Structures are given as structure tokens and as C-alpha cells.
Amino acid sequence: MPKARMPQVLVAAASPRRVEELISALAPLAGRGIVGGVPPRLAVDLSAIRLLVYEGEALPELLAPLLEGLPARRHIVLAFPALSLAHVAFFLGDTRVSHLFSAPVSLDDLAAVADKLDTGAIFGLERYLPGHADVCYRKLESYEERCEVLEEIDAAVKKARLRSAIRRVGAQVAEELLMNAMYQAPRDGSGNQVFAEIEPAARIRRPAPRPVSLRYSIAGGALHLSVRDRYGSFHRQDLTRALRRCLSAPIQIEEKKLGAGLGLYLCASSVSRFVVNIMPGVVTEFVCIIEPRAKGEALLREVSVTAHRSLP
């Protein structure tokens, strides 16, 4: 009789009913075997687990046994009732953590994560859009083209009559992402930053060494943006370092003394979804979504950093 295959996906949540709901969203991974339960009452061999999905409070007594028992090079998806940048800065320091959500996590969002991790196909603004949404694509190399694109996005947001807050945040985020892709990401053959020793005023007079791609779409009352560079030089430590530094230095933030780190912080703290997809040494894609929200509703819904690798 063939030996039963060990389950590779573990779902932990606050109630058996919620566990069942989350498991249903992970249908693309059903063939790998999915088990679930309510922590801390879980009797599972963590050495076989490739993906952990946890929804609940960020309590050490619940999380520690799961996180400490899970081997390296696994994927972890966490969802907390009040997702904060402090959570992001702390948990993304663990390279196994790929996605952080505000709980209760949308089942559609979790299904999208399952598809990404199962196939390894992580790139594309389209996966965050309804099927009928139009996407505008622009390729740019110069500072002048950057200015033109920013004006185009602003005009599109105005025409769509999105909220003024979305227009304001969208302009800031698009500018930061483009500046990062054009002047922070480029590396030479030795891996050194191309513009590291060049003053900002001189940088903008030079074209980006490689074209930068921008996509945007307006759908569901939200502005969706993505920017790709062709270097893949971004590391998750860049984000966690920027968040930790800015969270602990509010006075420096106000005085804008933190350079590129401040730009990442401003983006992550202003949008509802902040997604980074990376093929190291090849491409980095930032996806930011600015959504309308009701009074009192939490802003941050998702932060993720995913490298181009499927589940082991």
C-alpha cells in the first residue's frame, strides 16, 4: 500500500469554520495536501509544511511555535486584525514571510496568493484588477517623460472623479516609484549604483540606463499603479531597513533627511496595498493600490515581498 503523502500546507485560524473558509480559498494547492486547525491546539509535522497561512492575533504564544518550527525556504502568509507598518517591519525581516494582510483576509486575495505560489507567476498589475479593467502602459527613460506620465495619471484620476485624497496620494506614489526605478535601481557591471555619486540635480539631466515600465488603471474607485525596472536590485532588507528607520525617527521624516528610504516609507504608509515582486538581478516590480475607505476603516490591507520562486 503506498505511503500517504504528508500535507504541505497548514492553515491556522481562530475558529474551525474560518479554517474551512481559508482552506477553500487555497484550492489551487489542494493537490499538495492541506491541513488546518486552531492554535495552539495543532499536532502537525512542520518539517513537511511548505506554506503556512495564519490568521489571528500577533501573539507570541500562538505564533512562536509555528514560526520557530517551520524550516527555512518556506512561505508564510500572515493576517492580523490591525495590520501596521510595525508588523511589516518586524515580520518581513523573516525571509519566509511573503505576504501580510489585514484580517479577515479576503478569500479572493488568498486565492491569488495560492496561484502565485503554485505557479511562480508573480508579476503583473492585472492580477489585482477586475477582468474588464483597462490598463494603460508607458515606457520611459527621461525626466521629461516622467513628468509627462505624472500629468497623464493626474488627468485620468481627475476625469474619473476619484476622491481628492486618492489623486494626491497617487501623484506622490507614482513620482516616488519612478524616481526609485530610474535613479536608485540602476547598477553597473560590478553591482554598484550608477547614480550613487551624482548629485540629484545632475541625475535628472541623464536618461535612465534602461527603460522603466509603468502601468496604471482606474477601477472600482481605486487607482492601481505598477512600476518595473530591469535590474532586480531591490532587496526586502531595503524595505524593512527603511520602515524601521522611519518608524523610529519621526523628526527626521518631517525634515526629509532620509533619502530613498523615506520614499519607500511614504509609499508603504500611504497606500492600501504595497506589493513588491522580484526576479533577482533581472526585474523588480512595485504594485501600489490606492483605494477609497470608509471613516474609521484601516488603511493598510496588504504588504508583500515575493521572490520569483514557486513552492518548494
Q: How far apart are CA 10 and CA 127, in angstroms?
A: 24
For 103-142, the pLDDT digits (tens) are: 999 999 999 999 998 888 899 999 899 888 999 999 999 9
Whole-structure pTM value? 0.91
Give the contacts of 65 (CB within 8 A, at least 6 positions apart): 39, 40, 42
Residue 107 sits in the same domain as residue 169: no
User: Do the domain assignments include residue 312?
Assistant: no
Residues of the chain with pLDDT under 70: 1-5, 249-260, 294-298, 309-312
For 228-266, the pLDDT digits (tens) are: 999 999 999 999 998 998 888 654 544 443 345 788 898
User: Do the domain assignments include residue 1?
Assistant: no
Residue 79 sits in the same domain as residue 184: no
Residue 153 sits in the same domain as residue 292: yes
Task: Give the three cell numbers for residue 144.
Answer: 521629461
* pLDDT, position 245: 87
Residue where a domain terminates, one of 119, 140, 172: 119
Q: Which amino acid is at 104?
A: P
The whole domain housing 23 covers 9-119
Residue 84 sits in the same domain as residue 164: no
Q: How far apart are CA 186 and CA 58, in angstroms?
A: 37
Residue 261 sits in the same domain as residue 215: yes
* pLDDT, position 200: 75
Residue where a domain terminates, one of 119, 149, 174: 119
Which CATH number fits the domain that encloses residue 97?
A: 3.40.50.2300
* pLDDT, position 254: 42
Residue 115 sits in the same domain as residue 231: no
Residue 140 sits in the same domain as residue 113: no
Which CATH number fits the domain that encloses residue 138?
A: 3.30.565.10
* pLDDT, position 40: 87
Backbone angles phi, psi at 305, to 5 degrees: -135, 115
* CA torsion angle 242 244 246 248 (round to 10): -160
User: Do the domain assignments include residue 109?
Assistant: yes
